[in-house]
Structures are given as structure tokens and as C-alpha cells.
Amino acid sequence: MLRNSLNQIMVQERFSKAGFKLLGDYDCANKRVKARCGCGVVFYPLPKLVFDGSTTSCGCKNKIINKKVRIRQNGPILTVKEINNRLSKMDSRLKMIGKFNGVEYKSLFQCACGNKKEFQCDSIIRSIGKHGPQ
């Protein structure tokens, strides 16, 4: 009995670290359990997939929520202002001037020289993070 209680506690901690709340009882890693995603949706993941990182959300991870998007589970919610703040901290010559619809969609950027071009936000942020300003 004590062993099951400890397993339940450890599973709750792992689910919490993954951004979920365990709502049901844990029996084994291959039996689905009731959980709540960080976005509030109740779903039934396999614990083994939560433990190994394969399950990172209920499916909401890349969906647009109130015109704001999460890059990754438990990550920051991005807006045009936040993206421009990051770009300025990285000493980038780019500025987002278009509407932000999510990291998987293209947005309009403007270079300091005045040229405008559409890019995916995640590729801009990753590129500057790896290589510095271009």
C-alpha cells in the first residue's frame, strides 16, 4: 500500500513538471490516466509518453489562443511587443511590423535599411539565437 502511494506522488510530480495535473489514479505506465493540460483541457494521456517527453500537451501546443501563442509547453506567451523586445536585446536589425498569428505562420518584418519581408517567427528567433544578428 505504501509503495502505491509513493508511486502516485512521484507520478503527480512528473506530470506537474510536464505541465499537467494528474486527475485520476495511476496504475501503470501503459494505462491511460485522466489529466488536465496547462490550457485547462482534460485529456487521457499514457503516462509513459508523458514521462519520456513524447506527450507535451493535449494538442493545444501550437494552437492560437486569444491571438497569443506558446512556443513550447510552459514557455512564454509571445506578442509582437515581446518578439521585438527579444530582437532588440539580440542587437538585431529586424523589427516585426506585421500581425503575429503564431510561430508557425509568417509575419512581416522590416530591416533597419527599410526592406520588408515575411518570415516565420520561430526561424528568426532561432537564427538570431544561434548566429547573432545578421
89-115 per-position pLDDT tens digit: 876 788 889 887 777 778 888 888 889
Whether residues 74 and 116 fall in one domain: yes
Does residue 57 sit within a domain?
no
Residue 6: the pLDDT is 54
Does residue 125 sit within a domain?
yes
Give the pTM: 0.44
Whether residues 44 and 75 fall in one domain: no
Whether residues 44 and 83 fall in one domain: no
User: Which residues contact residue 74 at a Cβ distance below 8 angstroms, ignoring those fewer than 6 apart?
Assistant: 19, 38
Whether residues 82 and 113 fall in one domain: yes
Q: Average pLDDT, stretch 42-66? A: 76
Sign, Cα dihedral of 102, 130, 134, 82 = positive
